[in-house]
Amino acid sequence: MLRAIVFIGFFLSLTSVQAQKFPSDFWHEGRIVLETGDTLHCNIKYDLQNDIIQSELNGRLESFTPRKAVFFEIFDKTSKRYRSFYSLPYSATGQYRATIFFELLAEGKMTLLSRESIEFRNYPSSFYYYGSTSRMVLVNKYFLLKENGDIQAFTGKRNDLLELMGRQQDAVQKYIKANKLSLENKYQFADIVKYYNSLQ
């Protein structure tokens, strides 16, 4: 009986992983601007974890790295919105800079960028004997682009964000509370930064 429960739990977990779909799994209509200045209007599939995008036009497939594609934009069929990505130099250690793709979420006196990855996470299982189950989830990591061009990883904590907003933090905090916004939601996070950028 125990072995049967374990097998069923494993099967359901595996089925959930296989059935899960993410934006990077789909082809999206969009455009790519190349370093040469040429623009391709095509279907696009992206992979930010490996920093590569694919284009499909009239059955022809091509791949581009951040060195070849300086910008691309898609209409994301999963979120029903346009998304813009730029290739920018970034160093996680403060030394060698590599050019990678970032999604632009908000631009202004505070510019918010993000990168997404698909990771396995453990969650408690509804099966008493099974313990826990693993499934793939979409994880967003955030960055702030400084005026000098440096890109800094952001912790994603609300108090850290408000501290960066100086004398505007009270107004922003009221805006967050009134609209019930959360930094855990990528687009709500972007709305918060856009509101801050609109303040004088």
pLDDT in tens, the chain (200 residues): 434 333 334 444 343 344 468 889 999 999 999 999 999 999 999 999 999 999 999 999 999 999 999 999 999 988 999 999 999 999 877 678 899 999 999 999 999 999 998 887 776 766 555 566 777 888 899 999 988 889 999 987 899 999 999 999 999 999 999 999 999 999 999 999 999 999 97
Is 8 found in the same domain as 79? yes
Same domain for 58 and 14? yes
Alpha-carbon distance values, 35 to 4, 64, 72, 91 (Å) = 57, 11, 11, 21
113 and 179 inside one domain? no
pLDDT of residue 90: 94
In a shared domain, residues 66 and 95: yes
- pLDDT attached to residue 43: 98
**Residue pLDDT, tens place only, 160-187:** 999 999 999 999 999 999 999 999 999 9
pLDDT given at position 17: 41
Task: Tell me if residue 17 falls in helix, strand or coil.
Answer: helix
Residue 196 CA to residue 194 CA, distance in Å, equals 5
- Transcribe 71-137 into DSSP letters: EEEEEETTTTEEEEEEEEEE-SSSSS-EEEEEEEEE-SSSEEEEEEEEEEEEEE-SSTTT-EEEEEE
Q: What is the pLDDT of residue 10?
A: 40
Structure tokens at 151: 């890109």
Q: What global pTM score does this model have? A: 0.83
Domain that holds residue 185: 156-200
Cα torsion at 88, 83, 164, 167 (round to 10°)? 130
Are 148 and 179 in a shared domain? no
pLDDT of residue 147: 82
Mean pLDDT of the chain: 86
* Token duo for residue 124: 């408690």
Query: Which pLDDT value is given to residue 119?
Result: 83
Model pLDDT, residue 15 = 37
Give yes or no: residues 114 and 191 share one domain: no
- Looking at residue 56, its pLDDT comes to 97
* DSSP character string of 142-200: EEEE-TTS-EEEE---HHHHHHHTGGGHHHHHHHHHHHT--TTSHHHHHHHHHHHHH--
- What's the number of domains the chain is made of? 2
User: Which of 126, 127, 99, 103 minimizes the C-alpha distance to 114?
Assistant: 103
Which of these three, 154, 172, 191, is where a domain ends? 154
**Together in a domain, 132 and 162:** no
Residue type, 171: A
Residues 149 and 57 both lie in one domain = yes
Tens of pLDDT along 117-138? 888 777 676 655 556 677 788 8
The alpha carbon dihedral of 60, 65, 70, 72 has a sign of positive
